[in-house]
Amino acid sequence: MPAWSTTLSASRWLSRSLLLIAGALQTLTFSPFELWWLGPLSALLIVLVSVPLRPERLFAAGWFTGLGLFGSGASWVYISISQYGNTSIPVSVLLTVIFVAGLALFHGLAFWFWGKLAKDSQIRRLLLFPAIWILGDWLRGWLLTGFPWLYLGTAHTDGPLAGWAPLLGVHGLTFWVTVSGAAIYGAWWLISQRRHTAAALTLVVMALPWLAGPSLNRVAWTDVSTEPTSFAAMQGNIPQQIKWDPEFLKDQIVTYLGMTEEHWDTDLILWPETAIPIPQDQAGKIIDHIDERLGADSTLITGIPWYGFSDRIEDFTFHNSIMAVGNGDGMYHKQKLVPFGEYVPLQGVLRGLIGFFDLPMSDFSRGPEYQEPLVANGIQVMPFICYEVAYPDFVAFNSRGADLLLTISNDGWFGDSIGPLQHLQIARMRALETGRYMVRGTNNGVTAIIDHRGRLTETIPQFERATLRGQVYTATGSTPYMQTGSWPVLTLAVILVVFVRERVIPPSSASGS
């Protein structure tokens, strides 16, 4: 490998600083910055520093990379801990540091595995880098309920690789971003070896998906109806501090009823997550009033807690739910719960220690698997509540047979940070992967209509009380990604691990740095 790469890696201080920067560059690829082209640059910088390192230093290399990514891209959790968790600033800072450092361990573990697989060959490391990155992302999105956030491919909702999303999903896009960084590094090395033809071929192969992506945007993977459905979403902008205060319950309901006054005849009306902040067994009069006001062909879908007896756990429980009222039917219970926000791990130990472990409505139970879509005016509407929309395979699988996707959220927990804007971009990627319109209702932004190509057609700015009006269109059929999920990309990553480790490159000495 190039001597200058080895020189950069030789200094611990310099190499770790560069890896922190590389991780932070990835945050700039996502909303609101959307500098997608920094993704391959970040990958290039990571391999530039990491490939020559001794195997025992790769865990630290991965951890510092993750620290840069999550320290810049996910530290918005501090706002929910400090401002809404009634937790002192020192404790909030400590918990945020633990959160970020813990997430960075996933990168550390992936890089440690990388070193174990190719400890004697830098060329093997280069070839294995994309596979290791993808497998690390998958593990992070699955283990301990997962944190499927800040995947590099998500940056391409408006990038040149967007056309590949309906075929490969977000992990496929991430794979090619990391391939591109590794390919540029490899081409530099080939040029240093005077193998110019091989270097040119490497760059050409790397560039092909980037060039083909815009053409794929024109492919119609699903059949989108030409018959519009009128839609209205109410963004109440209810302050988080009063959300669960019984004294303000009536005011909140009156707010949403008032905002809906001119829209009762709209085909589909959407209120956000827990817009009705009392369980359905106590909200009968409110629900009946809504049902009476709705037009004959109108459906209102709202977030509402659910309390009752669960056959699955054989006990009474709370669910974070969403229900259809009027010319519709169905109740959906959230399956992917947010740790500490909706349930508290080890609650027997943690409850009562600090305010953050006693947030309102942090005792929900997970809903059952394989729930049916809601029905609104004969339309099959698959709902996802808040965090659930971040799980690519979960959304793809549950969207089969759905005509329209819907997500509700309350991103007020994260204030005026980049977190809610990242969340919106994630929802856009899910619409792009499934070839379906997605409507998004939030308490304080960003409420939006997203079309089947992941484009925003209507939005309400954050922190405004307003009503969004627009039209949405149903879709039938499935994208290739809905049928296969991420398994083709994950299988390719495993094949690369096995094939490159065992068969391709004979061992060569590492640089010793």
Please identify which of the residues 243, 336, 342, 386 carries the catalytic annotation.
386
Q: Is the pLDDT of residue 394 over 90?
A: yes
Three-class SS of residue 222? coil
Closest CA to 135 of 114, 104, 161, 156: 114
285 has catalytic annotation? no
Going by C-alpha positions, the residue among 296, 280, 272, 306 that lies closest to residue 423 is 272
Tokens of 52: 């020559």
Q: Which of 273, 342, 388, 433 is catalytic?
A: 273
What is the arithmetic mean of pLDDT over 392-418? 94
Mean pLDDT score of the chain: 91
Q: Is 386 a catalytic residue?
A: yes
Active-site pick, 334, 336, 342, 433: 334
Indicate the pLDDT class of residue 502, thresholds 50, 70 and 90. low
Quick check: 225 pLDDT over 80?
Answer: yes
Give residue-wise pLDDT tens across range 62-88. 999 999 999 999 999 999 888 877 788
For residue 221, the model assigns a pLDDT of 96
* pLDDT tens string 291-310: 999 999 999 999 999 999 77
Per-residue pLDDT tens digits for 359-384 = 555 578 889 999 999 999 999 999 99
DSSP per residue, 364-392: --PPPSSPPPEEETTEEEEEEEGGGGG-H
**Where does the pLDDT of residue 240 fall: very low under 50, low under 70, confident under 90, or very high at 90 and above?**
confident
Contact 53, 15 (CB under 8 A): yes
The length of the chain, given as a count of residues? 513
Percent of the chain with pLDDT over 90: 78
Q: How confident is the model at residue 9 (pLDDT cuts 50, 70, 90)?
A: low
What pLDDT score does 360 carry? 56
| 273 a catalytic residue | yes
